[in-house]
Structure 1
């Protein structure tokens, strides 16, 4: 497939290059109702890397009953050994860490909540109890020179608590940095952020000693704000953006969370702005079309639908 490309018109004040942290294979597929075969997941990840993505979050080493869609982590990860890419995996505790390290994982992520309600729903712990649970995980990973990413969920809004105070986010972000996390991903789990809110949070994090170069952003498109929020983050200097091929994903523990920012939509915007990603939009779009056919439904990504007639919505939709 040869994708159309936008006209490139650079905008001042943006980074020259952005690292796309692809989450479709983990965050995207974990929300599928049907379990995707291991071989399909492996080919999906190979295709993503072939499209130029160099950071692809592969799977999660959680207890199988928590997220059945990712229960095949031990079978999947060895199938990716030939890839020249960073393949971070999510681990919830020291047992998950040991499972991941035994298979050669060199990048891990822990998943913290900013709000008490989501911490209870997701981990059955308070925020402070969950941070205490992550401390030995991060320490053990750092001792083995494994890169650690800290996810912060509900940074902008929470389905139970409403708008989340910026100071609350800053407290958890600083705690994760103190534990030893190398980078932090700020998650708009239910998609309620707006650009001014994004800028205010990033500014306050900097003021409290959390530098921009350790921050990534993870936006959901519930209210159609993911790209505008991403642009606000880029204007602040953020150079790591999470996205999901085809716009897959949500959160199984927060029912109001809809799909992630589609990687194709992100790359289309960045190509138009002259910001390098190393991603081939045509190959990426073809990959999302391929996966959509196996999932039995069109891709949610607007760019995929625009570039691929087979993904265009029917009159019945």
Structure 2
């Protein structure tokens, strides 16, 4: 396997980054101008924040990027001592062979408030020698003084056709025989997360070079979309017992968790309303019931009982129709 494919096939330049075209265009201008303000990359996991930061550093700093680039994960080094020691000692030195130094702080939303205030001070003091790139999932957890000192780039989940292109490239490089249905299943379960998509592909390839839709479902341990659609349709048709029996098979035989089942029901219901199979007013009622079920399961209620209770809400709304 030669190690994790997410590292083996990690893009090395901005041109190779999948998705985020609107962000990449602006970053290329910084590279062309040879200057870099403090940046903040925010967005969900697996959409290219870390990859983009490293690729940007390589292009801005050139061949001496390793000596002038400091990467820290704020989940591990989240206290004020990290800011006072590691970051300060790195920032105060002048860059060698590059116009300035770059400090990349990943998952900075996990830093304590005291550490964030200390970081703000470092960003003020060393503007002539260093630029900061901050990465986080939730920008709301970053104090306002830091946000105001950064150009904020919001990364969106990667579109399905872009993930498909990347998976096809990796499959060809690894001499894999993968069906169209298998790739579509990976995209369905990845939900815009390229890292998750590549990990699913590698896990499936470890079993066999012939990758099918069934092998993908075996790896992810989630319900097949067509089975979830059957459950929803039977409930909306008023056939509660059949819907409950199929729900039991999916959860017990296929080993799908209650949290995953709620999420997949939500995805299928949302697709059905776009396909005009469910009226919008009924959809609104169902979303409210799905949200309540999700909350109860996450608070510790029995998943089977809660999901069967959710199916009764489908019956009630179907009769109201």
Point out the structure with the larger strand share.
Answer: 1
What is the TM-score with the length of structure 2 in the denominator?
0.33
What is the TM-score with the length of structure 1 in the denominator?
0.33
Larger Rg: 2
Point out the structure with the larger helix share.
Answer: 2
